[in-house]
Amino acid sequence: MLSRVANSIYWLNRYIERAENIARFVDVNLNLLLDSAVVDDQQWEPLVLTTGDLEIFRSRYGVATAENVVRFLTYDEKYHNSILSCLQSARENARSIREVISSEMWEQVNSFYFMVKEAAEADPQPELPSFFEAVKMASHQFAGVMAATMSHNEAWHFGRMGRSIERADKTTRILDVKYFIVLPGGVGSPLDELQWIALLRSVSAYEMYRKTCHRISPPDIAKFLIFDREFPRSIQHCLRSAEKSLHLISGNNHTNSWCNPAELKLGKLRSELDFLSIEEVIERGLHEFLDETQRRINIVSREIGDTFMTIDLEAIS
Amino acid sequence: MVLNSYQPGEFYDELFAADGKPRSIATTLIDKISSLSLAELQQHQNLAQSTLFKTGVTFNVYSDDRGTEKILPFDIIPRTICDREWQLLERGLKQRIHALNLFLSDIYGQQQIILDGIIPQEVVYSATGFLKPCMGIQPPQGIWCHITGTDLVRDKDGSWYVLEDNLRCPSGVSYVLEGRRVMKSTFPRLFEKMQILPVEDYPSRLLETLLYLAPDSIPYPTVVVLTPGIYNSAYFEHSFLARQMGVQLVESRDLTISDGFLKMRTTKGLQQVDVIYRRIDDEFIDPLTFRADSMLGVPGLMDVYRAGRVAIANAPGTGVADDKVVYAYMPAIVKYYLDEEQIIPNVPTYQCWEPKQRQYVLENLDKLVVKAAAESGGYGMLIGTKSTAEERSEFAAKITADPRNYIAQPTLCLSRVPTLLPDGIDGRHVDLRPYILNGRDIYINPGGLTRVALKEGSLVVNSSQGGGTKDTWVVR
């Protein structure tokens, strides 16, 4: 398939997944604050910090009030990672590969985009919880339509790989949000437990977590969201799914070997997580671990781009 | 109900005879429309339009305000043509394509038609579509114009004329296919009751036409559609046709020349391309041969083409044959190559470069339609009967300054079709663009794109000038 097409379907999926996850981590912050006794705008700046775009935010908005942060992350057309911008980019990518994806996928992206655009232009804008719910649902619909209407061919695997990589990255960030929430009652207080529940809910993990680990315990939650092989939003599950697609694309049947730099970096990251315990993570520091993982996921994505999406002409001829 | 008061008036109406009675092929259709209220019709219309919008049948894409593409207004009252009449049009179009192809081979070859004094050399050489670098090229299977959209009109007395040919990259066929799909869900029973010739095999025919151009030695030729990209106004169609044929849609940045062949960049390295259905204009195809500023083409493509290692449809250079001055010679061209009279005549055309004819044009500007030879899309046009004195003197000056660039034709009174408008149904003028494929044999998609001028009294059907489209039903 065309390198340009691979690039477009990969990013189409990343942008849709990104929009969904922004909805999720703004939502978790809203929920955490709803349960919190102290209403304090200081809780919003960390959210922007986790996006890595604090500087852009400061130069445009200055103070991190709830309203500013939500506008920045949700409807800001000039911020390239807002939900609205993500949908615009997703749609542009989908438009350029309409002959590759199914019509149903295009229709879903198109109506998803118009839903967000209309919400942005509406006066008054819709209530945030229901809007975020609609964004999550539209993203699920896209993934479902893609799984059910497009051949699971090379292009499809590029798409799934994009979604998995993006989701792994964003799960690290959502987990990190909790790190920044200052707890008035301290770790282990009833309030703390409520906040962990809110976090699990925001990644749709609450019920699945309960089935697996029963009690709410911070190390178990971190373990679940990092290592669980069955839960589809855990970091390890995402990396495994990305790796599977990557190997199907390159035709390398052995997951314990590699034939290009992307497979090397991803395989290394995934197998290190295979042999890492939550105790070691906590000892090293959860935040530091999450930061490092994000950085390595970025490298994997760059290698995927270099391997498949740009062709070094000299190397071939 | 809404149709009770409909009057064809002094015009030729495609659905009604002059006495106000429905034409026999249209009675079932008219009964159906009459059984619906205006509100119901409009509801159908809105649904049809929103379906087209949702599937992205759009044109006129944004430049900076993202996501503002529009759909071409689609009218749910179809235009009907009876099968017998269609057969005549088919014969006429086949004759025309056959002659045009012989003309192109000759012009880029021996130029016998010029040597024999049928068409002056300067007329050919001054046409903007004439490309010197194409001299001596022998395209695969000897075919130049693979895909043609020829615009036909019907005058007041019901007779057909060819208004112009579009031989470079005619667009609009996606509206025919998507419009038909929408009509089938709007009026499913009518398709059961009436015998309407199907249009859906166009993509398969197009693919066959393109595959026919690949060398026999290649068992599975790679066909691609070459688009300027998502900002082109016809991008939807490019993507639609690629999807319907199951071939790659490529942009120039996907292509490169390597080892003397055209290749595309894929995730597994470079892959050879054998046939290009190009949807970019001739002069943008290869910046080394034509326009050096072209960002849309592939440097060196013409060399690969000349070496017979890739086929291009339509062949570069075909534009010379749809020049509006060359058009005036079509009766002579048909006679010269086929020794036949035109089955569908040309509209009589005055050539302003010829002094006597120019004088007639300048004296009769208020009665004529003046067109710029190299323009299309309804631009650069004067409709004398609807013009102001100021506009006429402006055109007189233009014609005098650059006579080669202008032709004039009598104002035809285009036929009309009942059309759904906000406050009822009224007649609107239409033309017809059938799509013709020239491969192993010549195929004409039954029907074509009916373009309708939505403004009251307007004769300009182009989408850029407020035109819409209708489905065209060839009824047996």
| Mean pLDDT on B291-311 | 87
> Band of the pLDDT at B63, cuts 50, 70, 90?
very low
Q: How far is B239 from chain A (nearest CA, A)?
A: 5
Q: Which residue has the tokens 């036949």?
A: B340
Which of A80, A98, A103, A111 is the best substitution to test chain B (most B C-beta atoms within 10 A)? A98
pLDDT of amino acid A189: 65
| Mean pLDDT on A77-94 | 94
Residues of B with CB under 8 A from a CB of A: 54-56, 66-67, 225, 229-230, 235-236, 239-240, 242-243, 248-251, 253-254, 256, 258-259, 264-267, 269-270
Of A91, A100, A316, the CB nearest to B270: A316
Which among A238, A246, A164, A203 has a CA at the least distance from the CA of A22?
A203
Task: For residue range B230-272, list pLDDT tens digits in order.
Answer: 888 888 899 999 989 999 999 998 999 999 999 999 998 899 9
Q: How far is A33 from chain B (nearest CA, A)?
A: 35
Which among A61, A57, A40, A60 has a CA at the least distance from the CA of A48?
A57
Task: For residue range B268-288, list pLDDT tens digits in order.
Answer: 889 999 999 999 988 888 888
Nearest CA in chain A to B245: A99
The reply to whether residue B67 touches residue A91, judged by beta carbons under 8 angstroms, is yes
What rounded mean pLDDT belongs to chain B? 90
> Band of the pLDDT at B382, cuts 50, 70, 90?
confident
| CB atoms inside a 10 Å sphere around CB B289 | 23
pLDDT of amino acid B1: 58
Q: Which of chain B's residues have a Cβ under 8 Å away from the Cβ of A249?
A: 267
Of B55, B251, B267, the CB nearest to A308: B267
Name the residue with higher pLDDT: A317 or A251: A251
Nearest CA in chain A to B54: A107
Q: Distance between the two ends of chain B, CA-based, in angstroms?
A: 26
The reply to whether residue B243 touches residue A98, judged by beta carbons under 8 angstroms, is yes
Which of A4, A104, A113 is the best substitution to test chain B (most B C-beta atoms within 10 A)? A4
| Mean pLDDT on A155-182 | 88
Q: Which of chain B's residues have a Cβ under 8 Å away from the Cβ of A314?
A: none
Q: What is the distance between the alpha carbons of residues B21 and B4, in angstroms, rounded to a whole number?
A: 11
Q: Structure pTM?
A: 0.83
> Band of the pLDDT at A313, cuts 50, 70, 90?
very low
Which among B245, B203, B232, B202 has a CA at the least distance from the CA of B58?
B232
| Mean pLDDT on B350-362 | 89
Is residue B418 reached through a cis peptide bond, with omega within 30 degrees of 0 on the bond before it? Answer: no
Task: For residue range A36-76, list pLDDT tens digits in order.
Answer: 665 566 778 878 887 888 899 999 998 888 889 999 999 99
Which among B468, B408, B451, B369 has a CA at the least distance from the CA of B166?
B451
CA B63 to chain CA mean position, Å? 25
pLDDT at A312 over 60: no
SS3 at position A35? helix
Residues of A with CB under 8 A from a CB of B: 1-6, 88, 91-92, 95-100, 103, 106-107, 110-111, 113-114, 117, 154, 158, 249, 308-309, 311, 313, 316-317
Q: Which of chain B's residues have a Cβ under 8 Å away from the Cβ of A4?
A: 251, 253-254, 265
Q: Which of chain A's residues have a Cβ under 8 Å away from the Cβ of B242?
A: 99
Q: What is the distance between the alpha carbons of residues A41 and A39, in angstroms, rounded to a whole number?
A: 7
Q: What is the distance between the alpha carbons of residues B398 and B402, in angstroms, rounded to a whole number?
A: 6
Burial A251-268 (b: 16+ CB within 10 A, else e): eeeeeeebebebbebbbe
The reply to whether residue B54 touches residue A317, judged by beta carbons under 8 angstroms, is no
Domains of chain B are 24-343+413-475 (no CATH), 350-410 (3.30.1490.270)
> Band of the pLDDT at B323, cuts 50, 70, 90?
confident
What rounded mean pLDDT belongs to chain A? 88
Element (H, E) at A212: helix A206-213
SS3 at position B56? coil
Element (H, E) at A13: helix A3-35
Sorted by where each begins, the domain ranges of chain A are 3-316
pLDDT of amino acid A178: 72
| Mean pLDDT on A141-163 | 96
Q: Which residue has the tokens 């809910």?
A: A201
Element (H, E) at B351: strand B350-351
